Amino acid sequence: MQAYEFINSLIPPLKLSDRAGMALNWMEEIRTDALPVVDEGKFLGFVSDEIIFEINDPEVLISKVEVVSGACWVYSDKHIYDVLRVSADEHSNLVAVLDRENTYLGVITMEDAIAAFADSLSIKSQGGVLILSMEMSDYHLSEICRLIESENTKVLSSFITSDPLDENKIKLTLKLDKPDLKHVKATLERFGYRVIDHFQEETGISADEDRIGNLLRFLDI
């Protein structure tokens, strides 16, 4: 799941010689609030509709408009997780993709990145999600999986993020193949693991958007 696989070909880059009015027209047409700015194949950053509206001059050149988030990019061979991390760090809904020669290749939208993230966590598969908080030194995935499998449950995928409530800890997100999590949760807690939240699939509630949204909100992505 490398970044280049998720480049959105519908989002064009702006040149320094383009005019602000044209940029706004493009943003309206493709329903985005920002566009990348590229000069001779090099990514400079993003121009937002908010900045253009403040200038209030459709004839002004993009070269005269403030460009932001120049660090909001990843190399094309980076994992989709890196795209999400950079997006969160830069507070941007778009992330530029560059090759190893720093040539601009395109951008990834957060909608596409989150969808890929959800697929990587097997969120659309039937089952449930457990989130644990622990010291990094206590993270032993093989041992955690052994305990979970002792309850006749499989780990479909796992994901680690920093814990925003404690910089010394991590959050481990586990997608399991069973919707009923109470026995697994009890076993993990009996062996000293702290389960801080869970997302359990319920009969009659199958909207992927709701489950993905709840999980991503908790992960602060």
Digitized pLDDT (tens) for each residue of the chain, 221 residues in all: 688 899 999 999 999 999 999 999 999 999 999 999 999 999 999 999 999 999 999 999 999 999 999 999 999 999 888 898 899 888 899 999 999 999 999 999 988 888 777 666 555 567 888 899 999 999 999 999 999 999 999 998 888 887 777 778 898 888 898 888 999 999 999 999 999 888 765 444 444 445 455 555 545 54
C-alpha atoms less than 13 angstroms from C-alpha of 69 in its C-beta half-sphere: 23
CB atoms within 10 A of CB 21: 13
Helices assigned H by DSSP within 37-191: 49-55, 80-90, 110-120, 141-149, 182-190
Q: What is the DSSP letter of 15?
A: P
pLDDT value of position 215: 54
pLDDT value of position 45: 96
- Which secondary structure element, helix H or strand E, spans residue 121, and what is its range? none
pLDDT value of position 119: 67
> Angle of helix 110-120 relative to helix 80-90, nearest 10 degrees?
130
pTM: 0.64
